[in-house]
Amino acid sequence: MTLSFNRSAERIRQASEFLAGGVSSNFRLGISPTPLVFERADGPFLHDIDGNRLIDYYLGMGPMILGHRPEAVVEAVRKQLERGILFGGQSEVEFEAAELICGLLPSAERVRFSSSGTEAVQAALVTALFLGEQLPLLAWAGIVAGVAGVLILALAGRGLTLREIAGSLGQPAALFGLGAGSMFACAAVAIKLATAELQGVDTVGSALVTLVVVMAMQSALHLAWIIARDRDTLAAVGRTWRSSAQVGLLSALGSACWYTGFAAAPAALVRVVGQVEVVFTIAFAHFYLREPVRWHETLGLLLVVGGVILALLST
């Protein structure tokens, strides 16, 4: 039997005049052939305005696990409606719910109800940053060792004095570098927030979904810039598409590992462990490109590796 969704499509078109996209969630825009408009539901079924009865596999993205309009839930809601549902203050039912959650989740010593997932994630971050839930001492030691190793790799062997190094921090290249580092740090936190927002998806899945969205945005911005300012580069990429595709694939795989790390662990620790890429880079240059390893590079590598080990031991 062929299902028709014409009335849903028309209603979405009409609603678009007042509701952006005709939907209240961008996820619904991807439903084919059209976002659906429902008029009622019962048990495991949804009924749309075209008269179709559909099995509800989404379950409201999770909360409708008991199905739609289960008798016990409807009766409990009816009783609460008779007493009121919004008081602008505390009520006994909140205390009961909090006690029940703490009893079911041994790791939840206390709970706080919030209006949205974003609010909850932000509250957790603020708690971690300002209320004492800090990185272990070993992790901080790993961060210091890693940063020292990178500085030695970048500056040693160039004959620069401390005054020259301090003066160079005001140069445009240094300022842009510091700005880029700050933006990378903000991006790491934003990535972690984004992965936490995806409901009903495991750690790897949420990381990959976030990665696809970010890469699509980056690709669009890069393409727009090249078209506007450097079309010769676009032609060169087209001529070397095979090697460009290989580089892009390796970069995407590396980014997938970064994003999975951000989704699964504190961003600072992921950044510290990620410094191991410096080791692989110098090893590749030595064994493949036959470049010699100098003394300061060895010292820097030892500090970077030490920082990685300390960060791993702190988890």
Q: Is residue 39 part of a domain?
A: yes
139, 145 contact by CB (below 8 A): no
Encoded amino acid at 237, one letter: V
- Phi, psi for residue 297 in degrees, rounded to 5: -70, -40
Last residue of a domain, one of 83, 113, 143: 113
pLDDT the model gives residue 37? 95
Rounded Cα–Cα distance for residues 254 and 270 (Å):
13
- Phi, psi for residue 90 in degrees, rounded to 5: -80, 155
DSSP conformation class of 246: H
Q: Is residue 122 part of a domain?
A: no
135, 269 contact by CB (below 8 A): yes
pLDDT the model gives residue 118? 47
Same domain, 161 and 183: yes
Same domain, 34 and 153: no
Q: Is residue 1 part of a domain?
A: no
Q: Is 301 helix (H, G, I), strand (E, B) or coil?
A: helix
- Phi, psi for residue 40 in degrees, rounded to 5: -165, 170
Q: Is residue 290 part of a domain?
A: yes
Same domain, 149 and 270: yes
Q: Is 42 helix (H, G, I), strand (E, B) or coil?
A: strand
pLDDT the model gives residue 300? 76
Q: Angle at CA 179, nearest 5°, toward 156 and 123?
A: 120
Same domain, 230 and 291: yes
Please give the chain's pLDDT, 315 residues, in tens: 688 999 999 999 999 888 888 888 767 777 778 999 999 999 999 999 999 999 998 888 778 889 999 999 999 999 999 999 888 888 888 899 999 988 888 877 888 776 544 455 555 555 555 444 456 677 777 777 777 777 776 666 556 666 666 666 666 766 777 777 677 767 777 777 788 777 777 888 888 888 888 888 988 888 888 888 877 777 777 777 787 788 888 888 888 887 887 777 776 667 667 767 777 777 777 677 677 777 777 787 788 778 777 776 766
Domain count, the chain: 3
Q: Is residue 79 part of a domain?
A: yes
Q: Angle at CA 212, nearest 5°, toward 277 and 12?
A: 165
Query: Which CATH number goes with the domain that contains 29?
Result: 3.90.1150.10
280, 111 contact by CB (below 8 A): no
- CA 227, distance to chain mean position in Å, is 29
Which residues form the domain of 85? 71-113
Same domain, 169 and 288: yes
Same domain, 165 and 261: yes
Q: Is 46 helix (H, G, I), strand (E, B) or coil?
A: strand
206, 195 contact by CB (below 8 A): yes
What residues pair up with 38 in beta bridges, in sequence order? 48
Same domain, 165 and 240: yes
Same domain, 161 and 276: yes
Same domain, 154 and 300: yes
Q: Is residue 126 part of a domain?
A: no
46, 38 contact by CB (below 8 A): yes
pTM for the whole thing? 0.44
How many other C-beta atoms are found inside a 10 Å radius of the C-beta of residue 57? Answer: 7
Same domain, 75 and 48: no
Q: Is residue 240 part of a domain?
A: yes
Q: Is residue 128 part of a domain?
A: no
DSSP conformation class of 126: H
Mutual angle of helices 137-155 and 295-313, in 10-degree steps:
160
Same domain, 95 and 47: no
Same domain, 43 and 185: no
